[in-house]
């Protein structure tokens, strides 16, 4: 079973609710291999939707780069940002958000909900399938026998809620379990990965991982 919780929650309170759970930080502040599930992580070579020939370092770089403000259009420089910092573009600096451009050279400006479904959700899925499947396989295997708590700063699990930012941790859960908006995701490869759980502070990454997803 996979649960979503705020990164701001105290570990001891989470373990009171879910004794023996694996607490897995999937934000950009993670200190193990799970940082690769952050939309800020610079995997590289992620295709930009509706933009043939364009790629970006991170999912967040695409989401922020295609955003259109009243005072500023898209920002292609964010596609190349590998620092995991200075990716956010703010209303204070650029004025009201008009929406997201449908591709680098597109003329259509999509509203938030449409952009979420046509840009963010499919781009995050592409990242999972091409850059992080070994983590998904570990999650699938581990969640069969233990509760896993995914930590995120945003905890909204309602995909179609237009009032709150969608939790990317929920998208990890959705892809792992085959839930909306990734209902067909369980067609992926089953896991053959062995997971070692320590008794006091278990983690999905007890073994060091190299850049190819292999245990060192």
β partners of residue 110: 100
Give residue-wise pLDDT tens across range 28-68: 999 999 999 999 999 999 999 999 999 999 999 999 999 99
Give residue-wise pLDDT tens across range 184-195: 999 744 333 333
Do 69 and 28 share a structural domain? no
The boundaries of the domain holding residue 202 are 1-38+132-216
Do 177 and 142 share a structural domain? yes
- Point out the domain boundary residue: 84, 119, 154: 119
Residue pointed to by tokens 């970006």: 56
Do 82 and 18 share a structural domain? no
| pLDDT-above-70 percentage for the chain | 87
Quote the pLDDT of residue 187.
73
Q: Looking at the domain assignment, is residue 152 inside a domain?
A: yes
β partners of residue 209: 215
Q: What residues contact 51, with CB distance under 8 A and at least 6 apart?
A: 103, 104, 105, 106
d(CA 39, CA 128): 10
């Amino acid at each position: 079973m996979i649960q979503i919780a705020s990164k701001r929650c105290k570990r001891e309170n989470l373990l009171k609710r879910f004794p023996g759970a694996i607490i897995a930080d999937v934000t950009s502040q993670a200190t193990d291999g799970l940082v690769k599930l952050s939309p800020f992580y610079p995997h590289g070579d992620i295709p930009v939707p509706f933009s043939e020939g364009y790629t970006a370092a991170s999912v967040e770089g695409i989401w922020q780069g295609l955003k259109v403000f009243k005072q500023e259009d898209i920002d292609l420089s964010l596609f190349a940002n590998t620092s995991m910092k200075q990716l956010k573009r703010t209303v204070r600096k650029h004025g009201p958000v008009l929406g997201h451009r449908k591709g680098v050279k597109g003329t259509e400006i999509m509203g938030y909900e449409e952009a979420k479904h046509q840009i963010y959700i499919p781009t995050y899925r592409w990242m999972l399938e091409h850059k992080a499947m070994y983590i998904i396989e570990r999650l699938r295997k581990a969640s069969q026998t233990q509760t896993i708590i995914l930590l995120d700063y945003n905890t909204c699990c309602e995909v179609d809620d237009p009032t709150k930012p969608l939790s990317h941790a929920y998208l990890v859960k959705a892809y792992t379990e085959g839930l909306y908006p990734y209902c067909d995701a369980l067609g992926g490869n089953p896991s053959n990965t062995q997971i070692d759980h320590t008794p006091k502070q278990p983690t999905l990454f007890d073994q060091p991982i190299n850049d190819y997803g292999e245990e060192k």
